[in-house]
Structure formats: structure tokens, C-alpha cells
Structure 1
């Protein structure tokens, strides 16, 4: 009898979990720091029903996994992000929408696409939001992780909402963007520190592209018009809707914080794709951007017919855009494959010395076997290895309360042990990254591999709406 191939993103620790649980007084190996108090929450895909057609890792319904820490103790809970699509499929008892690798369901009475709410989280103006770049954010109640509902800024939200908004730690403003198949292909928005949507302006780009992330500095916002293009005409010809066009340059648009399409400046560089930026800052006449760069990508195409041997391999790069001369300098900072970059977000948009990036394992699947701490001033790095057969995710920086040094805090992530089939929350001293974790919190059920998380301090938890 022939066997049916198992989709790797529905197998092992990519497979979904079915139970939503709450457990207090978790076992801790080591000791949780007494001044580490708050909640680590991570988002990721967790399909509630078997998929229609081919499944992509990006397709699953959002599920939040949260560990609350206080007085050296920890509790865990996981909950679905109850989007409109999740509710419709939950009531139907089956999948209604297909995913990225199937043709859009233009005849679906509920809409061609589902907002899964599965990608990332942002805490801003007293509210935490679950994000998916294809639609509106969803407000979440902490610490319960219950879904409050769609969050539209009192009806002022007129675009999609990036999975990676940026909060200026000095002004408290939040910048975000939305991209679209239809004009305007890109819209740029600013939210005040108090949570009021202040402006949304269109930014002209030649054609629709998948724009997953962006960056901010003290005075500027940086957009990336990269050659991962969307084309309905291409799809009508039976070609991929989404395709990397290697003959197109990469374009970086730099606009003043409160600017618009009239005062954006575009810089061209070699073709590439960037899923995630580490940080950006200003240095004299230059704007500096640091990000994980791929020479090309086929990550959202069902079949890889590219000839690029470095396709889909992200490495840390730096771009320097000279606002005076209009020149661009691009530099690879490391040859190690690394993704999911983070900084201490108290310094976002400013020149940071340190960056923390997930170290990709030598595996065709997106598995991280450690986290790299980059010293961007000296050009050196140190690596925390998770251990044999142990794989983690994005390491989120939790600053020590009252800290004055940029790296005074902890790196927090979930780690899965393939040998024992168990998951842990791992807490690493960011100033001593090569040492063993200061604490490992044993999670009572498996936590599937996921996407992005955030640290919500105990002070922030007290004002969550």
C-alpha cells in the first residue's frame, strides 16, 4: 500500500495542540530571577482543523502561549486568537479557507482570505494586540489571553496592519503600515502614545509587493520595496501570484516621521528579501539599517525552481543610506544563517550595541538551535546553544527593571526537546549568554514552534484594559 507523505509543518513539534489549558505553580529548574516579573506571550500557527489542499506553516489559526512570572513562580496558559475566521470554522467543524499554496477562493461567501491573527504581538497604549499582516489587529485580554475582538481605532483603521509595528520608546508613538493587492499598494500610519490613530497616508510604489517588516529611527521611517511581487495578471496566466523577481532592484524608502509621499526618498540596492529588521538609527548624514537579508526567497511559493544556492538563507546585513550624497553601502555582517532578530526595545530606533538573532540549525526546516548575541560595536558575537536535539524560537529581551546597561536583562524563548517530547520556557542572562539558562520552566504540554513574542512587564500588566 502506498503511504501518504506527512506535511512537515503538521508533524513533530510543528503539529498543532488541541487543548487550551491553564496551569499554575510550574516546575522550575534553576531559579527565576526575583526581579523578573511580567508575562511572556508568543504567537504562532495552530490549525484547528485539517487543511484544505496544501498546507503552509503561515496558514494556521493563531494561538497564544503565555507564561506569567512573579515572585519566582510561573504559570502557563494557551488560547486561540478567536478571529472571525476562527469562529466561522469552529462553528462549521471544518476548514472553510485554503492557504497560501492554493489559489485564492474568490467564490468563498465568507471572503477569499482569512485573517488568522497568528504572527506577532505588540503592547501599546495599555493594550496588547495579536497581529497578522493580512487584516486588522485583535485586542487580547491579559493575563487571561482571551480575545476581546477586532481593534480598529474607533473605526479609523482603513488599511491592513503590519505584523511588525514599531513603538518609539522616547515619544511613545507607534508606527505601522499596510500593504495591498489594490491601490494604494502601501499606506503609512501613526498612532499617538495615548492610542489615537493620528494619520494614514499613501506611499507610492510601482506594484504590490509582500512587505513584511520595516524600521524606524529617531526622525525617519524606512520602507522596503523588495522584489517579492504580487501579480494578479501573473496568476491569471497560471503563474505564481507571489514571485521573487531577481531582475528587479531592492528599493528602500526613507520618509520623515510625520512625512508622506511628497518627501520620501528612495535608494536602490541589490535584489534581496528581508523578512525581519533588527534596528535602524541615524549617524550623521546616514541612516543605518540592520536586518536579516536573503539573496532571494521562494518561501511562499509552492515549488522552488530558483537557481540561487543562497535562496532562503538569511544572514545579518547592514545598509548605510547617505541622505546627503544619495549613495548606499551594503555590507554582510556575518556568514551564519540567522533570523528573528531582536533588540532591547527600550533602545529601538537608536544606535544599539547589541542584537539578538536566532541561529538557524543545519536543517531544511526553520529550526533554531541557539541564539546569537551580536556586539555590533566590536563586530564580535557569542552564541547560546540550546543543546543536542533541542530547538527554540525567537529570543525576546526582557530588561531588568531600573537597568542602565543596554544588555542588562534576560533572553526568553520556548525550547522543545525532541528526545523527551517536552517544552520549556528558557531564561538566559543576556550579559552571560554562553552560560546555562538561569531558569528553565517546564511547560505541562507541548508548545509548537511559532513566530513572534513579546514581554509584558508587571507594570504594564496592571494597566492592560
Structure 2
């Protein structure tokens, strides 16, 4: 989620072109495949994203739209497609009213709205855990989703044990099956940290104290630790009362990284300070001797919710792959930029999440004021080399999700899957790329019968997981 400052002039770009909503919900059982879908590739790719049901109230930000799921189920070389709204409480109320009830992030909070100041859109990401698919938005509870139908069951609160908001980026330990998540808020202590067992039981929630409320979009795990990022994108009611932005990047504040044992709490978290920056998305983290290593897409600063044409910082909103090393013995921190190319939406083979990874993948940013991805980069961290799969002239994609080959014994044995939109023909397709041969043509292109708007995060649900849902 980068380069997302709303221009102060002209038509809102996030309501036009391939950012514009697609409101019909359709199901298509037979899709044209160009190339050949690998016979071992069996499961479902689902991607979430903003898709406003009604004309927005006031200024519209890309983050505001109602969640819509786009799913392609693949089996025996064939594919089917369906798209469905995430039917949150807010979606249902506005559907009944026939109009928008909530304004968005660029408008003042609706403190007089009897239905609440903000709407949980369920529009950001997805996680499959404990036999259940969840649609996520960091402002509230997750929503349980049926597979493969993509129907909304309702808010998922872990038998009413959920006491905080729920990050859009929970982490599942591939060894233990545990899921870690957090929720931030405007009230002290500003952060809650939770752990869910492999079978879906919420085991614990502990408070983590922060100096002030911040937007904490992502975090990281290792085998033994959880890493929180207290970065200087802060919320301030005082600023809002002065007619300034509720959310603002404060360049004079340091970045703080908190490392806590997995089952630790506020009493044994260790904080490390580094240069001011912002991170929307983490690539991975792992342990190396006395050090915890964090890799993420780092920006010098961000104007994510400010309305301006030209940020004061020329490097604002430009994410690049970056590494931090936190020495738990000496307390020192080192930083290193790993690549000069602007890239976002990093992913790894999630069978190696929290462990040392050799490979990772991220969307290559196009030279555009809008968050457009012109290709996928494969990083080889041991050598520092990379390869890029280009989508082609006038073709832009999204986050590339790694689908491992069943029975694979090497980390990069699998496929990268993403939606790609062709601006010239105004058509969309699902692209499947061999992760071991990134520079070649896609092994398959699945033609989608209607346009798929640019969106946020997706996930691959294996055939075994589908059967267990």
C-alpha cells in the first residue's frame, strides 16, 4: 500500500480505471486457460480488496472501500471464478439503506454517527487458520468466510475472547501451527498481543505499552520471538482539534522495534531504536546467533492519509527492501538497504515463515503516482541477486502469492499467482508463473470474465485446506 496519496486536483483516481469498483457478483464455472495449469496445482487463490458498494461520502481514499473477494479455484488443469462482497455489519446496513452511511479516512471521524465513527470494511487481507478462512481489516474483528463459496458467516470473535482489533497481517508459525496477531487502538496501552493455538483457540492476550497511538500495519515472528514496530506514523486527537491530520508521519521521532518472547509480555519486551521510517509490509524475520534479523519494505516517510500533490520528502512513499539486525546480547542495531528498486507487497514461501529464507518475492512498483505493479521480483538473499518477471506493456498486477508444489523439497519449488489487468483491453486474468523460472512466460493465464479491480492481499488455500474448511 504505497504511493497512495490522493492528488488534490482532478478526478479521484481510486474511483476510476481499474481502481473503480465492480459491483456484479458472478460465478463462472469454465474459464479459458492460455497455456497449461500444472496438474499438481490444486486449490484456490483468493484476493481481497476495496470495492465501494455505493458512491462515497466526501473524499474517498483507496483504503475505504467495502471488501470484495475474488477467487479462482483450480483443479485438474481447469479453473472457476467467483467474486463476493464481504458482508460486514456496515455493508449490510448500507445495502439496506441503498446509500453510504459512513465517510472515509480523509474525512473527520463521524463522532455523531449512531452506528459508530468508522466502518469495519473487511477489505484488506485473508488468512486460513484452524480450518477457517478469515477476511481481515485492522480496524475491527475478522469475518469468517466459507470456501469455496466466499460467503460471509459473520464476525469471528473466538467465542467472545477477542478483546482487541485484529491486524490484517497475522502470522502462522509453520512448525507449531500457532497464529500470532495484534490490535492497536487510540486508548492506552495502545497495543494488545494475542496467540491462537493451531486448532483455533485464543490462548492469551497481553497488553504492550506504547508512548502514543501509532498506525501499526504489520509485524513479524521468528521461532522464539515476536517483533513489533512502533514507527512514527502517529494518531493525535490534539492535531485533529487544530484542524490538522489525525494521522501524520513525525520525522523527528525515532523508529522503535520491540522484541518479545513468543509467550512474553510487556515486562520482558526489549525496545531497539533506529532511524525514522515507515513499514507497511514485512518480508520475513529470523534468528541468527545473538541476532534477530528483520527484512521489510522500508520508506523514509509516508503521506498515506495526507492530501497533497508533492510530498516535502522526495523519497516519501517509496518502499525498498531493507534489513535490520538487532543484537540481543549487545543491544545494538544495524540497518542495510538490500535493493534500490521500489518494491512492495513482499511474500515468502510461508512454510518458511519466521525461519531463515533464501528466496522472497515482491511487486515491482511502476513509475507512477498510483500504486501500480509492473512485475514481480524474486530476491535471492544469499547472493544479493534478483530476477524480475515483467507483466508487459500497459499490464499491471498485484501481490504475488507463493503456492508451493505438493511434496516440494526446495524452498522455491512452486508457483507465483496474481491477478493482472491489461489497460489496453480493460481485461483481467490470473497469471501463474514458475517461481524457479521467473524470467520465462507464465505457465498459464486464466482469463477472468469480468474486470478485477486492483486490490490488496491474497492467499493460496491448498486442496487439503479446502477439504478441511
Give the structure-2-normalised TM-score. Answer: 0.98
Would you say 1:135 and 2:146 are equivalent positions? no
Task: Give the counterpart of 2:443 among 434, 438, 443.
Answer: 438
Structure 1 counterpart of 2:407: 402
- Aligned counterparts of 2:322 and 2:20: Cα–Cα separation in 1: 32
Structure 2 counterpart of 1:351: 356
Would you say 1:451 and 2:446 are equivalent positions? no
1:262 alignment partner, SS class = coil
1:300 alignment partner, SS class = coil
Would you say 1:368 and 2:381 are equivalent positions? no
- The one of the two structures with greater contact order (alpha-carbon pairs below 8 A, sep at least 6) is 2
- Aligned counterparts of 1:100 and 1:305: Cα–Cα separation in 2: 20
Structure 1 counterpart of 2:328: 323
Report the alpha carbon displacement of residue 322 of structure 1 after superposing the two structures with TM.
0.2
Report the alpha carbon displacement of residue 184 of structure 1 after superposing the two structures with TM.
2.4
Report the alpha carbon displacement of residue 5 of structure 1 after superposing the two structures with TM.
3.4
Would you say 1:225 and 2:233 are equivalent positions? no
Pick closer, same or farther for the CA change 1:284–1:304 going to 2, 3 Å: farther
Task: Give the counterpart of 1:41 among 31, 41, 46.
Answer: 46
Report the alpha carbon displacement of residue 330 of structure 1 after superposing the two structures with TM.
0.3
Structure 1 counterpart of 2:174: 169
- Aligned counterparts of 2:310 and 2:183: Cα–Cα separation in 1: 29
Give the structure-1-normalised TM-score. Answer: 0.98
1:212 alignment partner, SS class = coil
**Matched length:** 461
Report the alpha carbon displacement of residue 168 of structure 1 after superposing the two structures with TM.
0.1
With 229-238 and 73-82 compared, the bigger mean Cα shift is at: 229-238
- Aligned counterparts of 1:100 and 1:196: Cα–Cα separation in 2: 33
Once superposed, what is the RMSD of the aligned Cα atoms? 0.8
Structure 1 counterpart of 2:6: none
- Aligned counterparts of 1:68 and 1:223: Cα–Cα separation in 2: 35
Structure 2 counterpart of 1:17: 22
Report the alpha carbon displacement of residue 306 of structure 1 after superposing the two structures with TM.
4.2
- Aligned counterparts of 1:8 and 1:401: Cα–Cα separation in 2: 41
- Aligned counterparts of 1:404 and 1:135: Cα–Cα separation in 2: 38
Structure 1 counterpart of 2:291: 286
- Aligned counterparts of 2:396 and 2:88: Cα–Cα separation in 1: 29
Would you say 1:338 and 2:350 are equivalent positions? no
Structure 2 counterpart of 1:179: 184
Would you say 1:381 and 2:382 are equivalent positions? no
- Aligned counterparts of 1:336 and 1:377: Cα–Cα separation in 2: 18
Residue pairs, 1:116-265, within 5 angstroms: 116-265=121-270
- Aligned counterparts of 2:226 and 2:141: Cα–Cα separation in 1: 21
- Aligned counterparts of 1:46 and 1:39: Cα–Cα separation in 2: 21
Unaligned runs of 5+ in 2: 1-8
Report the alpha carbon displacement of residue 307 of structure 1 after superposing the two structures with TM.
1.9
Structure 1 counterpart of 2:4: none
